Amino acid sequence: MKVVMINDCAFVGETLLKYMPPELEKQHIKRSRSFWNKTFGLTFKIMRTKGDVFHAHYLLQDCYIASRLGKKPLVGHAHGSDLRKSLNHSIWGRIVRHNLKHCSKILASTPDILSIAKRFREDAEYLPNPVDAELFYPKPPIQKSETKRVLIASDANWNVKGTDIAIRALSKIKDEVDVSIIQHGKDYEKTAALATSLGLHLKVLPKVPHEKLNEYYWNADVVIDRFALGSLGLISLEAIACGRAVLVYASSEYPENNDFPLKDLKQEDAIANTISDLPSDLWEKEYSFLKKHHDTENIESRLQSIYKELTAVARSL
């Protein structure tokens, strides 16, 4: 069987390919954001490619082009903004709805977008995001200091990540924390200005390649992810895998979060109080959740089953 992965999101596709069985033939069609590369160049690459199953990340133009070119069976993998935002766009919405209707299988990477996908495809399925264990693995905590080292690791985005909530929460305990933030995201300047206005000092870290993020996690005591969506992002998963406690809004609305030890954490006071009095066993409980629900071997096994089911149907037609 040959698997053709198209595009990517937060290195999920790359990790899935990396841990697939060696006997599978694999190809990854990547693209840049340049106009040619994401339109005509992408179309040319997909048109020339042959495979037994195609797996497209994001339900946008990559998936749409593969669908229009008759690449089947086609897995459409939703990752967030395609269903939260693009679905309601006057132009992009038509593309997303086409993909939801015509893909052989729809996967959702987080619980909060699964319900959206199911409005269009009852057979849509939640596939937990994998974590690359070769890059992200536990290391002992660094030597303790008088203040807690807090890393704001997700990109600065107030609407999606709730970075402003994190800043206001940390400002309430600014004498107890040493806060670092990675310099990226559309609201970074606003975030820095808010921190300054609240008297919260931020140590600014440069954006680094994905394979070097582990160093940032290991140098922290606590990692802050997002407080606006109700589901764990890849930042949360990677930081937990690196042996660090994570604060994130995991909504009890989603059954996929049932085993997560800190649910419904999104109020500034609650966030500040949790950091001040961090449960000693928090990371152990979070790591147990990670191993149970985001084990790469289990995720790969389910994905291989999906591929086999789709190719069997295709051969019978």
DSSP sequence for 183-225: S-STTHHHHHHHHHHTT--EEEE----GGGHHHHHHT-SEEE-
d(CA 229, CA 257): 12
Tell me: the pLDDT tens digits for 199-208?
999 999 999 9
Tell me: the pLDDT tens digits for 125-168?
999 999 999 999 999 988 778 899 999 999 999 998 999 999 99
Domains 2-130+295-316 and 148-293 share a fold: yes
Domain boundaries, the chain: 2-130+295-316, 148-293
pLDDT for 35: 61
- Among 3.40.50.300, 3.30.70.380, 3.30.67.10, 3.40.50.2000, name the CATH number for the domain at 2-130+295-316: 3.40.50.2000
pLDDT surpassing 80 at residue 215: yes
d(CA 73, CA 55): 9
Which residue stretches of the chain are H helix? 12-18, 40-48, 61-68, 81-84, 92-102, 111-120, 158-161, 163-171, 188-197, 213-218, 234-241, 268-276, 282-293, 296-316
- Banded pLDDT at 41 (limits 50, 70, 90): confident
Q: Name the burial class of residue 29, with classes exposed (0-12), middle (13-18) and buried (19+) by CB atoms within 10 angstroms of its CB.
A: buried
pLDDT for 34: 66
Tell me: the pLDDT tens digits for 66-123?
999 999 999 999 999 999 999 999 999 999 999 999 999 999 999 999 999 999 999 9
pLDDT for 316: 81
Tell me: the pLDDT tens digits for 266-314?
999 999 999 999 999 999 999 999 999 999 999 999 999 999 999 998 8
Percent of the chain with pLDDT over 90: 90
pLDDT surpassing 70 at residue 246: yes
- Banded pLDDT at 37 (limits 50, 70, 90): low
pLDDT greater at residue 145 or residue 236: 236
- Banded pLDDT at 62 (limits 50, 70, 90): very high
Percent of the chain with pLDDT over 70: 98
Q: Could you confirm whether domain 148-293 is CATH 3.40.50.2000?
A: yes
pLDDT for 40: 74
d(CA 287, CA 138): 10
pLDDT for 314: 80
